Structure 1
Amino acid sequence: MDVLEPATEARKRAEEQWRRRRNLWILAGMVLLGLLGLGLWWLLIGRWWVVVNDAYVQGNIYPVTARVSGTIASIPAYDTMSVRRGQILVTLGAARALRQLRLAEAVADQARQNALALEQDIAASRAKELALAAQLASAKQNSWRLQAAARAGAAQDLNAVLAKNAVNRLRAELAAEAAHSKSLAARLGPDGVDHNPALRAAEESLALAHLNWSRHVIHAPVTGILAQQSVQPGQWVEPGQHLFSIVPLKQIWVDANIKETRLAKVRPGAEVTLHAAAYGNSVTYYGWVAGIGGGSGAIFAVLPPENASGNWIKFTQRVPVRIALDPTDLRRHPLRPGLTMTAQIAVDGPRHKGPVPAWFIRETEQPIATAVSTPARS
């Protein structure tokens, strides 16, 4: 028994050493396989693509605000509702605005009647000028005849003097009437009734009253999804107060935050392949780099870092890169702002030559034609 025990112990030690060597070889093989896989990934993908997990869906968010003060009469809309541009979202009580509109209409009508009356007065004044001019011509002939007769002794000097005074009186009346005609013409304006200053002022006041009245009905500025409802019926609102937000699902892009160590090879126009966590890898989006941010995210943070302080630690910064998406992919699989994405940016490949989407450069849109007709006059 004593002879067998050392042999058994030696065999156990040999088996244990063999298992250790085997485990070490397995571990070494796994490390080699990992390194080989990493090398293959770098050769096939890594050096041709920049893979970014820190990417999020972004989009334009249009605020819907009140432009006039008033009480909310009705809200024919709600959060998550799909709306089209021009659709009614909120209506305000407009009794006061309607009365102001009626008053402006009455003032405009009175101004037009006054302008028409001025036109008739001008016509009458000019007709009177013509009559006075005819009388003056006749008086001149009579005065000339009487003065000639007085010089020849055929008439009295008094009649000649009276005739001359009549000529002077008619000249004064004609000059006064001409001045009156010019005064009326100046009040009317050089371009007729439709361009009379008083009438134009009244019409502008009417247009402002109508604009103020029409703003009591609030329309959707764009087509999209409603969000962030902040009012209820019966609530008093002031100009500029937020009512809704609208997210147009066609105006979507992706912001990929790329490390500064991988940014050097990224160029505008580079092709991008993306996957959304909402759909998984079964749905692929295609796009291109529309632009690279003007600074790192830390620079534009609410509290930017103080690198001049004594306690300094270097962190790798990230720069936002805007990626435009293919509209066809967005129509098939809509995205919402805030969703997470994974992006692969081609660093050595063809460049996208087309322009950025038109809505990237946002301009003031044409005003929406009011859906409410002008109220009929009573």
Structure 2
Amino acid sequence: MNMAVDEQQAASTEPATRIIGKRRLMGLGGGFLAVAALGYGLYWANIGRYLEETDDAYVRADWITISPKVSGYVDEVLVEDNQSVAVGTPLVRIQDRDYRARLQQAQARQAEARAAIVAQQAALVTLDAQLMEQQALIDQAAADIDSARAERQRAQLDYQRYRDLVAQKAASDQRLESVTADFARARSAFSRAEAAASRQRTRLSVLQASREQAAAQLQQQQARAAGADASLALTENELEDTLVRAPIAGVVGQRRARQRQYVTPGLPLLALVPVAQSYVVANFKETQLRRMRPGQPVEVRVDSFPEATLRGHIESFSPGSGALFALLPPDNATGNFTKIVQRFPVRIALDPGARQQVPILPGMSVIAEVDTRSDGEAQQHE
């Protein structure tokens, strides 16, 4: 009888215990949710509302296309696909025998031009010596004129004196005739001296003109030599350009150059991608840019390596939206208008250690999250 009563009491108390347990679990669950909501609210108020995130972001690099400066047949391709190269590494060699022949031709022209300059300088030296000699001859002619003038004056005085003496019957006519002849010879000698001096001055003018002409020819030869030097420099540059070198450090991609291929200036040979200088371009909505500033920290998660979180900072903002620089930009002044939120490219520089965490390659998709808090706000919430 007592066992039956105890079983009835136990059966009656079991539902009450279950109800109490369920209530406790509900209370605990509600408390946990309340704490979680409070924590999330605090996180959102202090940190979350300052974070701006976008998955429209990609790794980029300023890669370049390598093209030759000269034409010719490819003699040898010195790199392989996906090979890392340093600055100045030889990439492609073009046959250079024609360019070496042109170099020898340019060197011969340069030597000829320099020899012509030396010959013209020697001619100028000769003319300068002739000018000095001619000046001495002019001085000698001037001295001869002075001597002839003095002799003419003496002969004239003798002629006048003997003419008076003959008039006074103090001298003979024969003596007067002799003095007259001397006076005539003195006048002739003076005229010859003047003519000789004039001829020497004319010769000086001719030599001066020849000297000016020789100087002009020297300048012409020097100009030709300068042209020959320039041609030689261009030929040397062309010969040097037959060996195509890497202008930057990077990884070889799109290797199109093949041996015995004929190439011309501007023809793409291969691409160089500076993987070590890659960066992230994140396209944020215009409504997300209000608090963004250069230098703010950024967390980057690469889709290929979701477990890794990379660090970086905002480097710069695009001067216009992506639609502004599109090939066919939209014209909102035509037809019906539907407002679309625009996106602006933001350049994000990765920290130096980010590339050591995971192998980042240009073109990878990433998720970028910017912390827009100021320094004071970040220190306050830490």
Give the TM-score category using the shorter length.
0.7 to 0.9
1:51 matched residue in structure 2? 53
Deviation string 1:94-151 (CA, Å, 9 cap, x unpaired) is: 2222222111111110110111111111111000111111111112111221232123
Shift in Å at residue 45 of structure 1?
A: 3.9
1:161 matched residue in structure 2? 191
CA distance in 1, matches of 2:135, 2:321: 86
Could you tell me the percent identity over the aligned residues? 31
- Does the residue aligned with 1:242 lie in a helix, a strand or coil? coil
1:278 matched residue in structure 2? 304
Which among 74, 77, 85 is matched to residue 75 of structure 1? 77
Amino acid at match of 1:64: I
2:125 matched residue in structure 1? 123
Do residues 307 (structure 1) and 332 (structure 2) align? yes
CA distance in 2, matches of 1:292, 1:251: 18
Amino acid at match of 2:324: I
Do residues 241 (structure 1) and 243 (structure 2) align? no
- Does the residue aligned with 2:353 lie in a helix, a strand or coil? helix
Question: When the two structures are superposed, what TM-score results if normalisation uses the length of structure 2?
Answer: 0.76
Shift in Å at residue 37 of structure 1?
A: 7.8
Give the stretch that moved more between structures: 73-82 or 256-265: 256-265
Which among 224, 232, 239 is matched to residue 258 of structure 2? 232
Which among 192, 203, 216 is matched to residue 173 of structure 1? 203
- Does the residue aligned with 1:336 lie in a helix, a strand or coil? coil
Q: CA 1:304–1:136 in structure 2 vs 1: closer, same or farther (change >3 Å)?
A: closer
Which among 136, 139, 151 is matched to residue 137 of structure 1? 139
- Does the residue aligned with 1:240 lie in a helix, a strand or coil? coil
Larger radius of gyration: 2
Structure 1: where are the runs of 5+ without partners? 1-21, 352-378
CA distance in 2, matches of 1:223, 1:64: 12
Which among 185, 194, 201 is matched to residue 215 of structure 2? 185
Q: CA 1:115–1:349 in structure 2 vs 1: closer, same or farther (change >3 Å)?
A: same
- Does the residue aligned with 1:138 lie in a helix, a strand or coil? helix
Shift in Å at residue 345 of structure 1?
A: 0.7
Alignment of 1:1-378 (within 5 A): 39=41, 42-43=44-45, 45-153=47-155, 154=182, 156=185, 157-189=187-219, 196-282=222-308, 284-310=309-335, 312-331=337-356, 333-350=358-375
- Does the residue aligned with 2:276 lie in a helix, a strand or coil? coil
The two structures, once aligned, show a CA RMSD in angstroms of: 3.0
Amino acid at match of 2:371: A
**8 Å contact from structure 1 (residues 249, 334) kept in 2:** no
Q: Figure out how many residues of one structure are paired with residues of the other and give that number.
A: 324
Amino acid at match of 1:122: L
2:13 matched residue in structure 1? none
CA distance in 2, matches of 1:344, 1:247: 26
- Does the residue aligned with 1:345 lie in a helix, a strand or coil? strand
CA distance in 2, matches of 1:265, 1:215: 50
Shift in Å at residue 309 of structure 1?
A: 4.7
CA distance in 2, matches of 1:180, 1:229: 64
CA distance in 2, matches of 1:89, 1:323: 31
CA distance in 1, matches of 2:210, 2:145: 27
Structure 2: where are the runs of 5+ without partners? 1-22, 156-181, 377-382
Shift in Å at residue 306 of structure 1?
A: 4.5
CA distance in 1, matches of 2:149, 2:356: 101
Deviation string 1:181-233 (CA, Å, 9 cap, x unpaired) is: 1222233249xx9xx22211111111111112221111101011011112211
Deviation string 1:63-101 (CA, Å, 9 cap, x unpaired) is: 111111111111111220111111111111122222221
Deviation string 1:308-350 (CA, Å, 9 cap, x unpaired) is: 4545544433221111111233355442211122222111133
**8 Å contact from structure 1 (residues 257, 318) kept in 2:** yes
CA distance in 1, matches of 2:356, 2:245: 24
Shift in Å at residue 35 of structure 1?
A: 6.8
CA distance in 2, matches of 1:33, 1:328: 37
CA distance in 1, matches of 2:333, 2:148: 110
- Does the residue aligned with 1:324 lie in a helix, a strand or coil? strand
Shift in Å at residue 249 of structure 1?
A: 2.1
- Which is helix-richer, 1 or 2? 2
**8 Å contact from structure 1 (residues 270, 350) kept in 2:** no
CA distance in 2, matches of 1:334, 1:174: 85
Shift in Å at residue 275 of structure 1?
A: 2.3
Shift in Å at residue 263 of structure 1?
A: 2.2
- Does the residue aligned with 2:81 lie in a helix, a strand or coil? coil
Q: CA 1:297–1:166 in structure 2 vs 1: closer, same or farther (change >3 Å)?
A: same
Shift in Å at residue 300 of structure 1?
A: 2.6
Q: CA 1:186–1:350 in structure 2 vs 1: closer, same or farther (change >3 Å)?
A: farther
